[in-house]
Amino acid sequence: MRLLLDSTFVIDHLRGEPDAVDRFRRIFEDGDDPIVTEIVVCEVRAGLLADAERFLDAFLEPIEYVQPGIETAMTAGRWRAELRSHGRTLSLADSLIAAAAHTLDAAVVTRNLRDFALTPVTVERY
């Protein structure tokens, strides 16, 4: 199964949060296919101290980096516009992560259930 790792998951893993560390191990044991996008990498890197970048690099090494295209951007924009018309807000980052998962037929691994529940993507809580 393809699993798009959300920023919350990556941050929790880097902090040594046991549930995230255990789930990351099981991803590989179960033969799942973990992926990240530039949005996730950017969000996580922005919150790191400069000397911690090497830990992010090591975490990302076995993970496929994908850069979705125009279809993903259009989907994210449609979802944001539709939600806004109903008085709801979905951040640009979360809409792009969800749309990437949708386009790539992946589940989003996160603990941010509230925001991703606004989209039709499959969400896996760790």
**pTM (predicted TM-score):** 0.94
CA–CA separation, 90 vs 14, rounded Å? 25
Domain that residue 52 falls in: 2-124
Q: Is 120 helix (H, G, I), strand (E, B) or coil?
A: coil
pLDDT tens, 35-49?
999 999 999 999 999
Q: Which residues of the chain have pLDDT under 50?
A: none
What's the CATH code of the domain at 35? 3.40.50.1010
For residue 61, give the nearest of 71, 49, 53, 69 by alpha carbon. 53
- In the prediction, which pLDDT does 50 show? 83
CA–CA separation, 115 vs 79, rounded Å? 12
Within 8 A by CB and 6+ apart from 1, the residues are: 30, 32, 33, 106, 107
Total number of domains in the chain: 1
Length of the chain: 126
CA–CA separation, 66 vs 47, rounded Å? 21
For residue 59, give the nearest of 76, 75, 40, 74 by alpha carbon. 40
| Encoded tokens for 20 | 């995230």
Q: What is the DSSP secondary structure assignment for residue 62, as one 8-state letter?
A: T
- In the prediction, which pLDDT does 1 show? 96
